[in-house]
Structure 1
Amino acid sequence: MNIQWYPGHMVKSKREIQESLKLIDVVIEILDSRIPESSKNPEVDSIIGNKPKIIVLNKCDLAEDSVTFEWIKYYKKVGINSIDVDSSTGKNINKIYNVVKETVKDKLDRRIEKGIIGRPIRALIIGIPNVGKSTFINKLTSKSSAKTGDKPGVTKSRQWIKVSNNFELLDTPGILWPKFDDKRIALHLAFTRAIKDEILDIEELALELIKEIGTLKPDAIIKRYNIEISSDPFETLKRIGSKRGCIISGGNIDITKASNIILEDYRTGKMGKISLEKPGEVE
């Protein structure tokens, strides 16, 4: 399965981000806690240059706590401040401003020395589609400042959002990169709905997800569907369909319906907390 998705507005968004950097004090890069490496746009660091950056590991409610903790240690080791966040419930949202202040402390000190007082910290929010940027912003501001939706590509343009007198955000559309050379990265993006389902082969995607979870955390499938995992992912998918009543005429299994069920169960955490990537795998 060749997975590629790079709609035209992403080219414009990348250009607008570059143009906005002169107004920005710090970049907040939002990653998916389940797939921190795959959800990191490899072009971001070259785009933002030497701007200070913090990493927000969003959707931490869907990732394994111990693995997320390992990621935070990894980022600290390479000199990046990071924090795990669940934007839906607001976990650790109230700590964001302090992490931002710590990251730009030297810059704030220089401003004070020059007598510049009262200027708000301006942060650029950046991340791939459907990583939860808008939900993060809305929870941070305690209002519906940004459009949200459980599909990629909801935010279409830049917008300034005031968090407080001391803190402002620039929201940007999610951007991917033109070509996914690594199949594993492409699959992880598809599993987590960073890529539109409409352009994917859902049945093949479900089989790939079964293979990966069956290797990493087979009990998640066994407990969720009360089945035995087969060495053949297609057989496992049929067993899931049978358990979930995906029966069509002739007693056959509706494979498409069963595929959508397992993908949705993973995406919403109904299979439990499952991290697909660990920092030890990163070079």
Structure 2
Amino acid sequence: MEKRNHDVPLVQWFPGHMAKARRLIEENLKLVDIVVELLDARIPLSSSNPMLKGLIGSKTHAIVLNKADLADPGITREWVEFYKRMGKSALAVNSVQGKNIKELINMINTLTQRQTSKFAAQGARPRNARAMIAGIPNVGKSSLINRLAGSAATKTENRPGVTRAKQWIRIGKNIDLLDMPGLLWPKFDDPIVGLNLAFTGAVNDDTYDKEKVSLLLLDYLKEHYPKLLEERYKIDALPEDTTELFELIGRKRGCIIKGGRVDEEKIITVIFTDFRNGRLGKISLEAPSV
């Protein structure tokens, strides 16, 4: 998404518990065979935590593009191919509907086969693969874990070095999954990253100028997905002025207060909710550059 920097409000949010989340991930990495990094399929670059890359080091690392049901499918396919060209195992999933969940389980088993089978070479039984799913807040980690675990999920025993607050979840017969909290990084150096995280709801809405951010989201949608805006809000022709479009959406959606004025707070909620829940359609905010 290309925007002039002076048009982009500063979005920064790093609540105190994020430091604890980092420590938990760092302390428990030695217990797992693979880190499955969960990204938002609409913003794979912006939702990839640079802090996590440093923590993972040489650990086996797979990429999962979640919320693929909300993203532009053609662009999502480009992202999967992009990561594969970079030498990463990558998969797009829809954790709400369960699409590609079996493929994800197979990928984890395949990538951890060397670690889990080395015990058999020494005469012992192969142990379960140990996986950590990590990602930023609101990327759908809980939904994915619940979908992976299913109704037959059981907590496995506490393992050395794991606090009581952490739990291992048995996935099928061969995978033990370690649940980790969502992790943001202290400063978004690129203002567009902060903006994309605000668009998708990864940062608290109370920490930035919601009106400016909603107008910038409309700018992007006008440029890249105008038909979706027209269809959702029943607009024959989008006005050139984004503020005029903002008010027109409010009137179309009945966001009117005393005196016939539009209720800006309600319009902002409508725009954010429609985008984040996929009511506008399948939309991606980032595409691979190569």
Q: Tell me the TM-score normalized by structure 2.
A: 0.89
In structure 2, C-alpha distance between the alignment counterparts of 1:217 and 1:60, rounded to whole Å: 17
Aligned partner of 1:224 in structure 2 is 232
Runs of 4+ in 1 over 6 A off after TM superposition: none
The code of the aligned residue for 1:225 comes to Y
Is 1:254 the counterpart of 2:266? The answer is no
Read off the aligned partner of 2:78 and give its amino acid letter: E
Match of 2:176 among 168, 171, 183: 168
Instruction: Assess if the C-alpha contact under 8 Å between 1:202 and 1:260 holds in 2.
Output: no
Please tell me whether the aligned partners of residues 137 and 145 of structure 1 are also in contact (alpha carbons under 8 angstroms): no
Count of matched residue positions in the alignment of Structure 1 and Structure 2: 271
The Cα of 1:143 is off from its aligned counterpart by 3.3
Question: Which residue, out of 247, 251, 260, partners 1:242?
Answer: 251
Query: Given the superposition, is the C-alpha separation of residues 221 and 110 from structure 1 closer, same or farther in structure 2, using an over 3 Å criterion?
Result: same
The structural deviation recorded for 1:145 is: 6.9
Cα distance, 1:181 vs. partner? 1.4
* 3-state SS of 2:38 partner: strand
Instruction: Supply the distance in 1 between the matched residues of 2:245 and 2:12 (Cα, whole angstroms).
Output: 27
Conserved 8 A contact 1:68-1:84:
yes
CA RMSD of aligned residues (A): 1.7
Shift of 1:130: 0.4
2:4 corresponds to: none
Q: Which residue of 2 aligns with 1:32?
A: 40
Gaps of 5+ in 2: 1-8, 155-164
Written as runs of structure 1 = structure 2, the 5 A alignment for 1:140-219 is: 140-143=148-151, 158-219=166-227
Question: Per-residue deviation at 1:144?
Answer: 9.4
Gaps of 5+ in 1: 147-156
Does the aligned pair in 2 maintain the 1:158–1:173 contact within 8 Å?
Answer: no
Residue 164 of structure 1 deviates from its aligned partner by 3.0
1:115 & 1:205 partners in 2: Cα distance? 60
1:215-273 deviations in Å (ceiling 9; x for gaps): 11111111111223222211110000010111111211111111110110000101000
Equivalent position of 1:272 in the other structure: 281
**Percent of residue pairs bearing the same amino acid type:** 45
Q: In 2, distance between residues paired with 1:43 and 1:107?
A: 25
Q: What letter matches 1:182 in structure 2?
A: D
Shift of 1:7: 0.8
SS at match of 2:50: coil
| Bigger mean CA deviation after superposition, 94-103 or 57-66 | 94-103
Which residue identity does 2:209 align to in structure 1?
D
User: 2:37 matched to 1:63?
Assistant: no
- In the TM superposition, what is the alpha-carbon distance from 1:93 to its structure 2 partner? 0.7
How far apart are the structure 2 equivalents of 1:140 and 1:179?
32
Higher relative contact order (CA 8 A, sep 6+): 2
SS at the partner of 1:89? coil
In the alignment, the residues of structure 2 paired with residue 129 and residue 212 of structure 1 have an alpha-carbon distance, to the nearest angstrom, of 23
Which residue type is aligned with residue 199 of structure 1?
T
Question: 1:15 is matched with which residue?
Answer: 23
Q: Report the more deviating stretch, 200-209 or 63-72.
A: 200-209
Distance 2:178 2:116 in 1: 19
Q: Secondary structure at the match of 1:60?
A: coil
